[in-house]
């Protein structure tokens, strides 16, 4: 009898909404790198998007608490939504540092890393509709591999950026400020890979 009951598909809508919000935040963050004079406007935009993301996460948990049948394991639904929310939190935290630390201008490494984050966030958006049909995952697997490749590129960029900070003899306070921004940005990129890993696990269990 349970096999004949329809699964609640609202979770797919919520995942897609959350991923879209993350992408808009990544676009605003990358926009800071390209148009730094607009940073206050873009930081405010990211703050608004972080609130939107929190609302989606809250609605997901409420729905999870009241749903009898779910499209896949409750633990996976919870983990995926929380990881989507974590990426958004990292972007929001990083963007706030530019006001808090009175950063005068972006660095080339920051520009490069925001581009990596933007590409990874776009791929996360593209993976979400694939969850609706876990029997056909060939295109999904390609996207997951590409997210892993971007995380590796982001990791290499971060190591190089931090090495440059410590090796160029800049003011120690400047070094500490930028190291924190670099690390938060890298954690957002890492979070995209964590999303990919959660999706890969869902596919393995349900494909």
Q: What is the pLDDT of residues 161-175, one digit of tens each?
A: 999 999 986 789 999
Q: What is the pLDDT of residue 168?
A: 87
Neighbour tally for 135: CB within 10 Å: 7
Measured CA to CA, the distance from residue 184 to residue 73 in angstroms comes to 30
Measured CA to CA, the distance from residue 138 to residue 122 in angstroms comes to 18
Q: What is the pLDDT of residue 7?
A: 59
Q: What is the pLDDT of residues 1-52, one digit of tens each?
A: 344 344 568 999 999 999 999 999 999 999 999 999 999 999 999 999 999 9
Strands (E), the chain: none
Residue 196's domain spans which residues? 2-206
Measured CA to CA, the distance from residue 106 to residue 177 in angstroms comes to 12
Count of residues for the chain? 207
Neighbour tally for 41: CB within 10 Å: 12
Q: What is the pLDDT of residues 123-166, one digit of tens each?
A: 999 999 999 988 778 789 999 999 999 999 999 999 999 999 99
Q: What is the pLDDT of residue 8?
A: 64
Q: Which two structure tokens, joined as six digits, stand for 77?
A: 């639904």
Neighbour tally for 40: CB within 10 Å: 11
Q: What is the pLDDT of residue 206?
A: 85
Q: What is the pLDDT of residue 48?
A: 98
Q: What is the pLDDT of residue 17?
A: 98
Number of domains in the chain: 1
Find tokens 């959660």 and name the residue.
Answer: 198
Q: What is the pLDDT of residues 52-105, one digit of tens each?
A: 999 999 999 999 999 888 898 999 999 999 999 999 999 999 999 999 999 999
- pTM of the predicted structure, to 2 decimals: 0.94
CATH label of the domain that carries residue 78: 1.20.58.220
């Amino acid at each position: 009898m349970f096999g004949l009951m329809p699964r609640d598909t609202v979770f797919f809508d919520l995942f897609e909404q959350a991923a879209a919000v993350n992408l808009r935040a990544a676009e605003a963050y990358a926009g800071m790198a390209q148009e730094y004079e607009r940073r206050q406007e873009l930081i405010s935009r990211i703050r608004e998007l972080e609130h939107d993301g929190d609302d989606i996460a809250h609605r997901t948990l409420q729905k999870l608490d009241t749903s009898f049948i779910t499209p896949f394991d409750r633990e996976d639904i919870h983990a995926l939504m929380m990881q989507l929310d974590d990426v958004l939190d990292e972007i929001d935290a990083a963007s706030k540092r530019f006001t808090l630390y009175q950063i005068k201008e972006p660095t080339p490494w920051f520009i490069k890393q925001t581009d990596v984050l933007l590409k990874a966030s776009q791929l996360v958006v593209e993976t979400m509709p694939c969850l609706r049909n876990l029997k056909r995952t060939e295109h999904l697997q390609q996207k997951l591999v590409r997210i892993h490749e971007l995380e590796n590129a982001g990791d290499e960029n971060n190591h190089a950026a931090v090495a440059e900070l410590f090796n160029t003899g800049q003011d120690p306070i400047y070094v500490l400020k930028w190291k924190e921004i670099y690390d938060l940005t890298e954690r957002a990129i890492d979070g995209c890979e964590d999303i990919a890993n959660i999706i890969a696990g869902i596919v393995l269990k349900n494909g």
